[in-house]
Amino acid sequence: AQRVTQPEKLLSVFKGAPVELKCNYSYSGSPELFWYVQYSRQRLQLLLRHISRESIKGFTADLNKGETSFHLKKPFAQEEDSAMYYCALGRGYQKVTFGTGTKLQVIP
């Protein structure tokens, strides 16, 4: 069965500190992983996907198939990064399995 695990419900870091939001997955097929973000009072939106291997707003995420992980990282946290972050696994045609989410709180 597909499963996405985000072990931290809340992660608090100081501004300028490194950030790592953890995500582990289980999936029998070839995984397609995503990170979504939801800022306060805004709708859910895509942050990045593993296939594109891009850096968005300073965030990067590397798919580690050996550890079945897709952790989201940023070297220097900014206050505007405070939001809810969801790791997600693409399964089949357009379907997505979401993790439980991690609330990132950046302390000024």
Partner 1 sequence: GAVVSQHPSWVICKSGTSVKIECRSLDFQATTMFWYRQFPKQSLMLMATSNEGSKATYEQGVEKDKFLINHASLTLSTLTVTSAHPEDSSFYICSAPGLAGGGPETQYFGPGTRLLVL
Which residues of the chain form contacts with partner 1 (CB under 8 A)?
Answer: 4, 9, 32, 34, 43-46, 49, 86, 88, 90, 94-101
CB 92 → partner 1: shortest distance, Å? Answer: 10
Helix, strand, coil share of the chain (percent; to 5):
5, 50, 45
Which amino acid is it at 64? Answer: N
Amino acid at 60: T
> Is the CB of 82 or the CB of 86 nearer to partner 1?
86
**Closest approach of Cβ 42 to partner 1, in Å?**
8
**3 vs 65 by CB, closer to partner 1:** 3
Specify whether the backbone of 41 is left (phi greater than 0), alpha (psi in -120 to 50) or beta: left
